[in-house]
Structure 1
Amino acid sequence: MADPKGADYRGLALIAAQEIYTWDTRSSSYSEVYSRLRGLWTLLPDGSNPVTVLVQEFEATGVTAGTYTTLAGQEAYRIGTAESVACDGELAKLRDYPAPWLGLHVCTVKVNVVDRTARGENAYAAPVSVMVNCPPAPTAPVDGCAMVGFYATPSRIVY
């Protein structure tokens, strides 16, 4: 995984979106995949982005602890490659309803996904909306930006 540091919120959104849609049952357990994603997710002090949302949204990508075990028996892996990104004012919903604080950026990334198993492969595109907190937000890291949430549930994607 590339280092998701710095003030490039677009770059961080791209990295996060790819990480959300990339895993390999041949080399990682579900716990390891979850830990990697949890490492990207920065909790806000007000509790507005609880880890339960991370679990819910990751499961919206089609993977749960139970399905991961089944997929491991099929030597499955998934590769996500970001194709495009639109952030903030480029998203109609955010033009009408801006982010609630200065420094919070919302980006929707189109990810090309390839699911592979021993039986074959399936390719598709999936959108994911990533929320990135940057200075001057008082809850942002001093040295750059941090992912504070993502939406993979279709009804929650920001367009």
Structure 2
Amino acid sequence: MAAAQGIYTWDSRSSSYSEIYARVRSWWELLPDGSNPLFVLVREFEATGVTAGSFAVLAEQFSRRSGTAQAVRCDLELAKVQEYPAPWDGLHVCTVTVQVVDESNNSRNAYAAPVTVMINCPPAVTAPTGRCAMVGFYATAERIVY
């Protein structure tokens, strides 16, 4: 849930696009088989509505965004995961509905946005010891798992 909220949370008044991107990038642990390449991270992060180009305009308006998880469905609650189970034990898929609030000096917009997060946990041999790591997320509608 924290990752889904964090993907949709930033503040142009205190962070640059590069800093926001680097924060999200630091959560994304690359798998040894290369199945979650960095270009996917960029595409999916930009699918949340923020690109390097648009961020300059957003910063001029002192824009910020906050995300709060409203609902979480994981693994066997998701029909597509039931049809296509994870390829190894310890890989979990959750779709989180995030309540997003976009604000600037002169406007406020609230909406719900789904994001699918994949985490790799022990006993997976590719998982970090004693914890889970995010190995992917999807914000584009055709990739979100229901």
TM-score (norm 1): 0.91
Amino acid at match of 1:24: D
**Percentage of identical aligned residues:** 68
Amino acid at match of 1:105: H
Alignment correspondent of 1:59: 46
Alignment correspondent of 1:87: 74
RCO greater where, 1 or 2, for CA within 8 Å and sep 6 or more? Answer: 1
What is the Cα-based RMSD across aligned positions, in Å? 0.6
Cα distance in 2 for residues equivalent to 1:51 and 1:97: 24
The aligned runs of 1:99-118 (5 Å cut-off) are 99-118=86-105
Alignment correspondent of 1:77: 64
Partner SS for 1:108: strand
Alignment correspondent of 2:124: 137
Unaligned runs of 5+ in 1: 1-13
Equivalent pairs, count: 146
Cα distance in 1 for residues equivalent to 2:12 and 2:68: 18
Cα distance in 2 for residues equivalent to 1:150 and 1:103: 16
Cα distance in 2 for residues equivalent to 1:144 and 1:78: 28
What per-residue deviation string (whole Å, max 9, x for no partner) do you get for residues 8-61 of structure 1? xxxxxx010000000000000000000100110000111111111110000000
Matched, 1:21 2:8: yes
Partner SS for 1:36: helix
TM-score (norm 2): 0.98
